[in-house]
Structure 1
């Protein structure tokens, strides 16, 4: 009896050790590309092209970061990315929350079909509509303006916003709205002052994921925005290259700078993101 218990305990301990070993290996493999890019951003050009490559930086330098922050186009691109991503997020939250509330609360025919069509937009290949959008935006005078990227990003980010918020709104009891209406609130007031604050985890999740999508978007920005006055960082980073040479160190430094805001957002709101993504997964 004792030997059997000891054997089970040994197997349990071995399983725990193997799990943590797998976890450490998985984390290292996942982070290795990011760590390597960071290492590229703080070494000299001679060390960058050394063969075999160095594992740890031999001569750390901040020259690459001085290069990118000394570039006026890159500084402007950071502002452009912030504007495009911020406006896209606000627009998606405004229209997405209203649409999600209607789908979650109202009873109407073909609700499931509508949700399927909304989700289908997310899987539609963006490259298939580049040419028609370019023609339309040209006719409307939107080419090389923020709105060209904002509208295109909103089309593909809005479905995800709606799906996340629908799951959250369905979890909130209807009694809350009825109580607000008894107190004299209209439907829109109950939605704005009661439902949206209570669905904060879902709102934060939708906002962060939308912001990340718009911040990382390249295809639409590269197609519709032509000048440094409107181009975001995803388009400007490849510009640290000429016909004959490529400044890989500067590109790596720019990639690190672009990634930092996203990492900070995820670290600050990680609990809200997890709760938002798992909304509706468990029935109480």
Structure 2
């Protein structure tokens, strides 16, 4: 038992060590940024002040990230929920082949799609727009969302819909009033995965947007420059990294409470 806990502790330390060092580095003074001490002394918030300097555009970039990630998550949940429910409940030929094809589309590396996307977006006038970032994000995350929700819906008993239809609900009403509330844990888990993926997306956002006021937080963070515009402001980048990570941590904690509420209680209701 002790070895198990030691193994878990080692994994936790291994996973959290980079984030801890990022936090510590963000709290150092610029002159102490390469100090190897485990805690900054003295504490300094100059990196956070520099991150929110008016010329950096970091605050607007955070808003852009919320817009892109929020819209992507909402649209992915809408389409993935409907598609997954149909794949889980409707019987038709080659259904497994369709599922395999859906998940196979997510295996293409994003960089291989960059040139075709740039050509397409240039032709239709989508360069420097929010949809140029949202649509590729949806394409990257939607297959995984459909796959996860399909497996989740398959585990739900058909008797839930049958009982609702006996009580007078149509199939659509049974889906909205009965199935979706019971499926909330799976939907919330998919929402977390989708939001994190859209929030952290970098390559597409860097390539299809060059207007400062439309860039997302990861892009702005990578483009921070020092006083000479040739040095790398590591402290400022670390501070921005901490700020960008905080919404994800809060989101996971909030949704985790809903997930822990349990699937069984929803089925009994």
TM-score normalised by length of structure 1: 0.86
Corresponding residue to 2:179 among 162, 171, 195: 195
Structure 2 unaligned blocks of 5 or more = 265-269
Whether 2:29 is the aligned partner of 1:27: answer no
Q: Which residue of 2 aligns with 1:264?
A: 250
Q: CA deviation at 1:275?
A: 9.4
1:6 is matched with none
Partner of 1:126: 110
Distance (Å, rounded) in 1 between the aligned partners of 2:179 and 2:237 = 44
Shift of 1:127: 1.2
Structure 1 counterpart of 2:267: none
Q: 1:39 maps to what in 2?
A: 24
Deviations for 1:39-73, whole angstroms, at most 9, x for unmatched residues? Answer: 110000111134xx222211111111111123361
What is the alpha-carbon root mean square deviation over aligned residues? 2.0
Note if 1:109 corresponds to 2:93.
yes
CA distance in 2, matches of 1:229, 1:107: 48
1:119, 1:199 → 2: CA distance?
21
2:37 partner SS: coil
- State the partner residue of 1:90: 74
Provide the residue aligned with 1:146 in structure 2: 130
Match of 2:45 in 1: 62
> How far 1:99 sits from its partner (Å)?
0.3
Query: Does 2:232 correspond to 1:249?
Result: no
The alpha carbon displacement at 1:27 in A equals: 1.6
The match for 1:167 is 151
Asked if the contact 1:205/1:272 (under 8 Å) is kept, the reply is no
Larger radius of gyration: 1
TM-score (normalizing by structure 2) = 0.91
Is the CA contact 1:202–1:275 (under 8 Å) kept in the aligned structure 2? no
**Cα 1:174–1:18, aligned 2, differ >3 Å: closer, same or farther?**
closer
Q: C-alpha distance in 1, partners of 2:53/2:30?
A: 18
**1:4 alignment counterpart:** none
Partner Cα separation in structure 2 for residue 188 and residue 138 of structure 1: 40
Q: Deviations over 1:241-268 (max 9, x none)?
A: 2552111100000000000111112223
Could you tell me how far apart the structure 1 residues matched to 2:165 and 2:6 are? 55
Aligned residue pairs total: 261
Return closer, same or farther for 1:47/1:214 CA change in 2, 3 Å cut-off. same
Partner of 2:2: 17
Q: Is residue 100–residue 169 contact of structure 1 (8 Å, CA) maintained in 2?
A: yes
Structure 1 runs of 4+ with >4 Å offset: 271-276
Distance, in Å, in 2 between the alignment partners of 1:198 and 1:236 is 40
